[in-house]
Amino acid sequence: MHASLFITCYNDTLFPETGRAVVSLLERLGVELDFHPQQTCCGQMHANTGFRSEAYSLAKRLVRLYADVEHIVIPSSSCVAMIRDQYPGLFEELGNDSLRREFAAFLPRVYELSEFLIDKLGVEDVGAYFPHRVTYHASCHGLRGIHLGDRPFRLLAKVRGLDLAPLPNLDRCCGFGGTFSVKNAEVSSAMLAVKLQDVLGTQAEYCTALDNSCLMHLGGAMHRQYAGMKTIHMAQILASTESAPMEALL
Amino acid sequence: MATLSSRENVLGRIRQATASVALAPDTLAAGYASIPRSYTRKGSLSRAATIELVLERLRDYDAEVIETKPESLSDAIHRVLAASGRRTFVVPPGLPPAWMPPGFEWMIDRGLSHEQIEKADGVVTGAAGAIADSGTIVLHHTASEGRRVLTLLPDWHLCVLFASQVVETLPEYFARVDLSPALVTWISGPSATADIEMTRIKGVHGPRHLNVILVHDEA
Amino acid sequence: MSHIVEHPVLDPRLAPPFPQAALPVLRNPQLRKNVAHAIDVIQTKRGKLIHEKTDWQDLRSAAAAIRTHVLENLGAYLEQFEARCTAAGGHVHWASDAAEARQIILDLLRQEKATEVIKIKTMTSAEIQLNPFLQAAGLGVFETDLAEIILQLGNQEPSHIVVPALHINRSQVREIFAKSMGRPELSDDPHALTDAARTYLRRKFLDIPSAISGANYLIAETGGVAIVESEGNGRMCLTLPRTLITLAGIEKVLPRFDDLEVMLQVLARSATGERMNPYTSLWNGVTPGDGPQNFHVVLLDNGRSSILAKKRERQTLRCIRCAACMNSCPVYRQTGGHAYGSVYPGPIGAILTPQLMQMHHAQSLPYASSLCGACYEVCPVKINIPEILLELRSQVVDQERHDLGRFFDPLYLGLRAAGVILSRAWLFHAVQRLGRIGGSFVTRKDGWIHAMPSVGGKWTQTRDLRGFPKDTFHAWWQQNRARQSEKGAK
């Protein structure tokens, strides 16, 4: 099984350990991974702020970069949602027939990480060990954008030693929303405060999710408040084994 | 004239806005007919269960509901009126005389003023139908159901409903009604508001007391 | 009234931008609690009913399809409505904009020599700012919806389209009623308050011969008008007076009477979490001897036809004003309605308001969303609100691209620059290195950034940011995994 890793611009820059975890995990499961050195960004930040032509350029670039790849694995639901939900409209409006054909061939090969594990590899038990109390945060893009459903829970259920604390109001947005977090910083913070009440109330040690975007927002507030909880991308939980435990960086 | 040109302005803008999608007049009906409707049209409950359901829903609304057979209807009406402690009732002109037992003051509406209706203790009417799923009583304001003001001003309403008039779902009601009536009132419980702290208060305007006699007229 | 927010401006032409307008609300615990409580009540009730309604998704599909069909054929259906309504004894008027609609209504009332008018709640009348206009012309205007009375007597603005006074609690209502109804003895028990309103209104219903209503639906096939309500004040206003004027947006049409079998099922469940609201009234024109004998409908455009013209945005007009979107919105939950500076708040307001203003005003509203998608999930007519928000954002950016003021906005600059940087891997990598170096100046000993300048400062107001790691992922891959075959550039 071959797969190409699209790390995403913000993971590449800010959360390389998530990428390392994905590599460790997939290699352990027998996947031959490659990494296109020219990759940059899916264009979501631009599309969501209204910079459509910039988003289109980046979208076109990404599709062309991965023209000949079997599977593309992306450890970020929001980037996958961008590709599935917004690329069609962008290419309809700004692209041409040739590009739309390329996209049609490209689209079915795109997988979010948990989709790749469960749907493509057919595994739920990835051999992980993470003896901590953990709560799972469902990012909106994962929940409503690409409909991950119970995939994250099925994976977490098989992690040895993990004590899963259910998060109340699971479907309520954490308030990150991309540039919303700075354009409407105060409202974003109000939503964060409310979400944090639920998250901290689980008394978990870690809050995990399939998107570092939400985790950056939640974790940033936890750190500011000395809240006694840390965030960790699920890839790092799944990569963690008894012999090679992987904690979030301090 | 200003209004005339507004009409042309607005319609003109609308036609321009929908030029690429609007159907030609002779295909409009077909376009309407092709709207997909996969929602539940006909209910799945038995007749008995449907009647059970409408009674349950009405009682949930704090309506006083009693059941009777056709031959005992007059007695049932008498009992309900007597228990109400009220004396003066307005009634629509087409109400069956058998539904107006003696011992009470009957004001038949042949053009009563609002002030006169305001003085009545209650109103007695029939109904056009009922929908069990939502506990809705439907009035078409015919001669036996009365002008709309009759069931609006008095504080107490007795509605005589026949089992054969009850359907389970809202689409079934619409299926039964051939032509749209000129007047319809759908009543699902007494008037209510939740405007103050979402506390549900019943009986703001309109009758605060709803009584229903369900007549089992089906086999 | 220490807890009431200063008088918000619900005119999109004058209202402050959303981030600014939201600030006083965010600092008001009572208001936030009132809003959250109201929303929770409706959402809980709605949730139970949706769960029970096994054909809910089918109803949504049908409702969306019916509304789409109407909008695509709006001209034909409006003309049919006009013909049938007129044949049934009603009079139909057309208003291009708010000013025309106001004048038509005033003229009709003057014809009747009306000095007072009773009103059923209609957001459309708030949209055209009807009340102050009629009052300035010397007419007494009396709202009859409990929430609208509270707002009118308390001189406040609505903050929700179904439960307009949800931001006000019982003791605040008591204060308003005690003062304006001259009832100092009034308790704050909602029963007592509601009873006070009932008494206050009874004579008005019986004595005032002119009424103004909105419309939930116009039925083209019959020329009928349907009004969906809970309190009974609607029935009062459309039964007792001699003159009834119904103001309705042109988009309110349904093709046939039977279409109510879909719309009535989705509306009450979405709006108030009930299977059916207490009273729904329908009337076709004038019925001799029953109800108003002088009946007028005023059809309002006021920007709707320009929305109709846009393929992607047309779905905005499917809206049936149920407010399910704002009840599900995590942003609205924190800010309430006033922050949107419009009589239409929440997710629908964020797309409808700027469009009604032809994108000349309310440009901050399409950004008043984290794009979580909860609204789209609950909308009974399947309006893809997130999609339209994004479309409107790109329109705002296109408008502002050449605006010199925008040119110096750090976020704009940053995004324009990022567009260039991200299109070339080598440039991206170079900027990452620069970023790491720059970041190191603001990274504290704990490895985190606690304060950043400019736009970054909006982040660090309430959140830390973990310092830039020493190696990017791609650098790590190059060192540890890259094979010869990949080292060639594409």
Angle between helices C346-356 and C385-400 (to 10 degrees): 40
Provide the 8-state DSSP code for B205.
Answer: S
How confident is residue B4, by pLDDT bands cut at 50, 70 and 90?
low
Q: What is the pLDDT of residue C168?
A: 85
Which H or E run contains C194? helix C190-207
Q: Is C203 helix (H, G, I), strand (E, B) or coil?
A: helix
Question: What are the strands, taking DSSP E only, across B121-206?
Answer: 122-125, 129-131, 136-139, 156-162, 166-167, 183-187, 192-193, 201-202
Average pLDDT value for residue range B34-50:
97
pLDDT tens per residue across span C49-96 = 999 999 999 999 999 999 999 999 999 999 999 999 999 999 999 999
How far does C393 lie from chain B, in Å, by closest CA?
A: 22
Would you kindly state where each structural domain of chain A is located, as residue ranges? 2-120, 133-239
Helix/strand/coil percent split, chain A, to 5: 50, 10, 35
Find the residue in B nearest to C309 (Cα): B17
The architecture (CATH level 2) of B47-215 comes to 3-Layer(aba) Sandwich (3.40)
C230 to B192: CB separation less than 8 angstroms, yes or no: yes
pLDDT tens per residue across span C429-453 = 999 999 999 999 999 999 999 999 8
Sign (positive/negative) of CA torsion C97, C103, C106, C112?
Answer: negative
Sign (positive/negative) of CA torsion A55, A59, A60, A61?
Answer: positive
Q: Is the pLDDT of residue A246 over 90?
A: no
> Which tokens in the block code for residue C310?
């846009």
How far does C260 lie from chain A, in Å, by closest CA?
A: 30
Which H or E run contains A235? helix A234-239
Q: Are A94 and A54 within 8 A, CB to CB?
A: no
Residues of chain C with C-beta less than 8 angstroms from the C-beta of B188:
274-279
How far does A237 lie from chain C, in Å, by closest CA?
A: 18
Task: Please give the Cα distance from C344 to C353 (Å, whole number).
Answer: 7
How confident is residue B1, by pLDDT bands cut at 50, 70 and 90?
very low
C279 to B206: CB separation less than 8 angstroms, yes or no: yes
pLDDT tens per residue across span B156-215 = 999 999 999 999 999 999 999 988 999 999 999 877 777 777 777 777 888 989 999 999
State phi, psi for C336 to the nearest 5 degrees: 65, -175
Angle B189-B195-B196 (CA atoms, 0-180°, nearest 5)? Answer: 115
Is there a shared CATH topology between the A2-120 domain and the A133-239 domain? yes
Average pLDDT value for residue range A101-112:
97
Which H or E run contains C227? strand C224-229
Q: Is the pLDDT of residue C4 over 50?
A: no
> Would you call C470 exposed, middle or buried from its count of C-beta atoms within 10 A (0-12, 13-18, 19+)?
exposed
Model-wide pTM > 0.90 = yes
How far does A167 lie from chain C, in Å, by closest CA?
A: 16
How confident is residue C139, by pLDDT bands cut at 50, 70 and 90?
very high
> Which tokens in the block code for residue C278?
């207490």
Q: Give me the percent of chain A exceeding a pLDDT of 70.
A: 98
Task: Please give the Cα distance from C143 to C160 (Å, whole number).
Answer: 16
A180 to C490: CB separation less than 8 angstroms, yes or no: no
pLDDT tens per residue across span C394-429 = 999 998 887 777 778 888 888 999 999 999 999 999
pLDDT tens per residue across span C316-347 = 999 999 999 999 999 999 999 999 999 999 99
B188 to C275: CB separation less than 8 angstroms, yes or no: yes
Residues of chain C with C-beta less than 8 angstroms from the C-beta of B141:
287, 290
CATH number of A2-120: 3.40.50
- Domains along the sequence of chain C with CATH: 1-7+19-52+319-400 (1.10.1060), 65-305 (3.40.50.10420), 410-487 (no CATH)
> Which tokens in the block code for residue C289?
């001897």
pLDDT tens per residue across span A123-145 = 999 999 999 999 999 999 999 99
Would you kindly state where each structural domain of chain B is located, as residue ranges? 2-33, 47-215
A133-239: CATH topology is Rossmann fold (3.40.50)
Angle between helices C98-111 and B2-17 (to 10 degrees): 140
How confident is residue C486, by pLDDT bands cut at 50, 70 and 90?
low
> Does B98 touch chain C if contact means CB atoms closer than 8 Å?
no
Q: What is the pLDDT of residue B195?
A: 76
> Would you call B107 exposed, middle or buried from its count of C-beta atoms within 10 A (0-12, 13-18, 19+)?
middle
Residues of chain A with C-beta less than 8 angstroms from the C-beta of C394:
50-52
The label of the residue with tokens 């954008």 reads: A145
ipTM for the assembly: 0.95
Residues of chain C with C-beta less than 8 angstroms from the C-beta of A57:
419, 423
Task: Please give the Cα distance from A33 to C482 (Å, whole number).
Answer: 10
Q: Give me the percent of chain B exceeding a pLDDT of 90.
A: 87
Q: Is the pLDDT of residue C301 over 70?
A: yes
Residues of chain A with C-beta less than 8 angstroms from the C-beta of C367:
179-180, 183-184
C147 to B23: CB separation less than 8 angstroms, yes or no: no
Task: Please give the Cα distance from A36 to A22 (Å, whole number).
Answer: 15
